[in-house]
Structure 1
Amino acid sequence: MKRRTFLRNLGFQAAALTFGAGLAIGAEKKKPNFVFFITDDISPHDLGFYGNQHVKTPNLDRAAKQSLVFDNAYLTISSCSPSRCSIITGRYPHNTGAPELHTPLPKQQHTFMQEFHNAGYYTALAGKNHMGRKESLGFDLVVDSRPSGSEKWMDVLKGRPKDKPFFMWFASHDAHRAWQINDKAPKYEREDVNIPPMMYDGPAARGNLAGYYHEVSRTDHYAGKVLEELKRQGELENTYFIYTADNGRPFIRCKNYMYDSGIKTPLLIKGPGVKQGRTDSLVSSVDYAATFLELAGLKKPETVQGVSFARTLSNHQHQSRDVAFAERNWHVYKLHERMVRTGDWLYIWNAYPGEYNVCGESASYGFDDVKEFWKAAEEGKLTVNQMKVTKKEQPEEQLFNVREDPHQFCDRSKDPACKEIMNKMRSLLDRWKKQTGDSVPKNPTPDRGTLHHNGKMGKRGDFPGAANNATEINHPGPIKL
């Protein structure tokens, strides 16, 4: 080869290498964005893409066709603020130091949002906070609005720094009582609703479900607006859009309970590399932090107890965990329950079996549908399964096959054929409690009022896990069997 030809080829190769390096640097700088849309008090089966034909969610239904929809996503607790604190830390509620309703996250707790912030992401919380001060959470911006909490989202998206990747924690107040109807979603009539089988079919229940449906549809309205704005900005294809909830629907035997109607959450994820479809893979909200960090190419802190299910986004058969755990702590009333889900089985252990097992949405006469329910109980109008909520004596243990019994009405804990699975569930729960430092408070927070009437908040008692310094424990408990 002539010297001139050699030098020319060498120059072409050098140019190609320089161009490739430039692309690599550019690709490295192009971090994915995140929009985490967390709704308030919505169960999966109140959405169109989970099969509800009564609630209108056209934007989410369209998005679902380009997303992965999770059919076995579980929360760590079915209670507003402790659920959010668990998500943002990637820790179980008793490990966060904020395990009860309306307790702020201690400032020494580490959040995954701080990791994003430190990595150069622009971080914003718009809507419902319910976790603590923005300085300790890792947000550059915190704003709120009413009635839905979503009204300022477009302004936040448009006003963000354009030279940074972003993580938007968009938290709606929808669909939380009391209902506030406006022109952003359809107005439903009482005859439009479908009564879940754990609820009494009365005019008050139907009226409240109609208001709830409106707010569920309003989350769909703002989901459409967010996706539209991301597309307008040219960021849609590089953004992970996540739609989920903090707990189940705010009705009897749903919100704050360990049954699927309370502890199961909708989860839709759309974004780079996500393969469209549905998955039965078991995931937990304690895993969100680890998953988001991996998708962003960031290291998971040792404080995060969850595991990443990022692989499941492209391989729907991938199982990041075999077992999920959840807890139920003080929520207006003194409560302490623990849940284990694995395979087709769901197990619940109750530390206070001799007492009412209720929350405000199941007992407070401040809600007209609740008063209607208890009056129907007095008049003998409830079904056998509906009546179980009203009993003071509650079982210490319950076991359900969720595939055969989707509403968890048939307790199999005393079934001789289930002896082996009962022993397995007890063993898993014992390991989880020991490894994560869980404990039953010796001096629990007392009820805020009587069974049917709320009173003033008294002095808080001991938190679960406090006796074992659970806030200092990072062990994840059992994950794989």
Structure 2
Amino acid sequence: MFEVTHLKYIKTLTQSLVILSALLLAPHAFGEERPNMILIIADDLNWDDLGTYGNAGVKTPNLDKLAKGGMRFDNAFLTASSCSPSRASMITGRYPHNTDAEQLHWPLPKEQVTVSQTLRDAGYWTAAAGKWHLGEDTKQRFDEVIESKYGIDEPSGSAQWVPLLQNRPKDKPFFLWLASWDSHRPFYQGEYPHKHTQEDVRLPPYYPATELYMNDFAAYYDEISRLDEYVGNIVNTLEQQGVADNTLIIFVADNGRPFARDKTTLYDSGVKTPFIAYWPNGIPKGSVSESIISSIDLAPTFADLAKTDIPETFEGKSLTEIFKAPEKSFREYAISERNWHDFEDHGRSVRTEQFRYIRNNYNDLPATPSADTVYHKTWWELTRLFEQGALTSNQARPFLTPRPKEELYDLLNDPYELTNLATDENYLNVLGQHSDMLDNWILSSNDFIPSFRTPDDFDRVRGAYAPHRKRPRPSKMQLYQATGRY
């Protein structure tokens, strides 16, 4: 009798241990462990200036490895090609004009809901390191912020990334906002993991292939390689801490490269972003998604993975289903905005799978690039060549007025967006469809054209600062006044 009872006890105990082991090993055991999350933001980096996106001349071994181990998105777009508005959009999940921080250097108002605070309330340790550019109030939405001031002592802005990760509390999931200064101008020469030469450069046809441009592009590539090394350091640290498998890393840029027809524009070279998602426990290795996604989708994705309610203010959608099925259709189109950035401008753009439609609301103004470009010698050379009549029509675009009120490009056949099809009778239906998309978005998002223009901060030709030009910070009421709507 004792022997039978003893055998039953052993059998029951064995079954219990098997069940317990299965529960402990199951990925969804007891509600599933929430992932750690890291957002890495490059500064002024073109989407296709990485090895994984086809530019073999740029040495980016760590980012290439990240893409091979995760998912690369080939149709990811930013809501703005301007630094602080783009970042404000990422952290709030809102279009720039709805963040009340749509113009460069405008701080994010404290009443805006941020994903960092949402995650903090959900039990995450939230921290940021590197470039900031979001205003002082937003720092209060993190547990810790280590802001890196731009300068030659720490030109990359990434030196505090690893220390922040090393000093985190070990008893909480974490969310890190890691922002680099690379590859923002000026390009500081010095120690780089890779030195690039003119032979490495892939120059777009809308720039003159002068000695100056070729060397400046090589210096830009050097900055990208330094950023790549810091990304590799983060991955190595995660592996050393034993948390790499359950940490989601998303790598993006805030806008396009710091050259005249890229940064601040509404072309792909301004608002299309590299987007790499790496998460060994949650994303199929070596996958590629062609789905159209937007930077406003970042905030709801992080909230969704934290298993907390997605704030109603977020205008984006969670990408978690794409992580499971990269072939899944997600968005019909992506919207991008152009607002004041050193110089006045206002425009909107719709990007579908094949076409880009741009509406230039201030087409009487030239498409002057950002000030950090205008006060650089490449701009002075471009100006000199323009005055000599030595530029092609596409190379001369930043100087021309008036600009077309509308632009339409077939990205499938014209990847550099050189041929405007807006007046081509064969594309009138395509033009109308995209114009309607934009009009519908304007109404649904309460978009508007400001009732007055903001003065430039710099001279448009020579780049000289104009301190007498006081740029007012208009209220929303002022922006809506008079003819302030479409």
Q: Same fold (TM over 0.5)?
A: yes
Distance 2:321 2:132 in 1: 30
- Of the structure 1 ranges 8-17 and 374-383, higher mean CA displacement relative to structure 2 is found in 8-17
* Cα distance in 2 between the residues matched to 1:318 and 1:42: 27
Partner of 1:35: 38
Match of 1:436 in 2: 445
Identity %: 38
**TM-score, normalised relative to structure 1:** 0.91
Q: Residue 385 in 1 paired to residue 397 in 2?
A: no
Judge which range, 224-233 or 91-100, deviates more: 224-233
Matches within 5 A, 1:6-405: 28=31, 30-133=33-136, 138-145=141-148, 146-271=154-279, 272-275=281-284, 276-360=286-370, 364=374, 366-405=375-414
Q: 1:159 to 1:461 in 2, by over 3 A?
A: closer
Q: 1:32 to 1:465 in 2, by over 3 A?
A: farther
The answer to whether the Cα contact below 8 Å between 1:243 and 1:268 also exists between their aligned partners in 2 is yes
Secondary structure of 1:261's aligned partner: helix
Instruction: List per-residue Cα deviations over 1:314-333 (Å, max 9, x = no partner).
Output: 21211221111010000111
CA distance in structure 2 between the aligned counterparts of 1:287 and 1:107, rounded to whole angstroms = 21
- Could you give the per-residue CA deviations for residues 150-184 of structure 1, whole angstroms, max 9, x where no partner exists? 11111111111111111111100000001113324
Task: Indicate the larger mover: 12-21 or 330-339.
Answer: 12-21
How far does residue 468 in structure 1 lie from its aligned partner after superposition? 5.2
CA distance in 1, matches of 2:181, 2:346: 26
The answer as to whether partners of 1:324 and 1:340 remain within 8 angstroms in 2 is yes
RMSD: 2.4
Q: Distance in 2 between matches of 1:305 and 1:219?
A: 30
Establish whether residue 426 from structure 1 lines up as the match of residue 435 from structure 2: yes
Counterpart of 2:151?
Answer: none
- The change in CA–CA distance for 1:363 and 1:222 in structure 2 (over 3 A counts) is closer
SS at match of 1:168: strand
CA drift of 1:404 comes to 0.9
Structure 2 portions without partners, runs of 5+: 149-153, 482-486
After TM superposition, give the deviation of residue 357 of structure 1 in Å. Answer: 1.7
- State the alpha-carbon separation in 2 of the partners of residues 27 and 269 from structure 1: 26
Shift of the 176–464 alpha-carbon distance from structure 1 to 2, 3 Å rule, reads farther
Counterpart residue identity of residue 216, structure 1? I
The residue type paired with residue 435 of structure 1 is S
Determine if contact 1:442/1:462 at 8 Å carries over to the other structure: no
Alpha-carbon separation, structure 2, partners of 1:90 and 1:211: 33
Secondary structure at the aligned position of 2:48 is classed as helix
For the 8 Å contact 2:139–2:145, the answer to whether it is kept is: no
CA contact (8 A) 2:37 2:175 kept: yes
Secondary structure of 2:128's counterpart equals strand
Does structure 1 conserve the Cα–Cα contact (< 8 Å) formed by 2:265 and 2:338?
yes
Change (3 A) 1:282 1:231: same
CA shift, 1:242, in A, is: 1.2
Name which of structure 1's ranges 324-333 and 11-20 shifts more when overlaid on structure 2.
11-20
* Alignment partner, residue 472 of structure 2: 460
CA contact (8 A) 1:345 1:402 kept: yes
Q: What are the Cα deviations for residues 382-402 of structure 1, in whole angstroms up to 9, with x where unaligned? A: 112112222121010011111
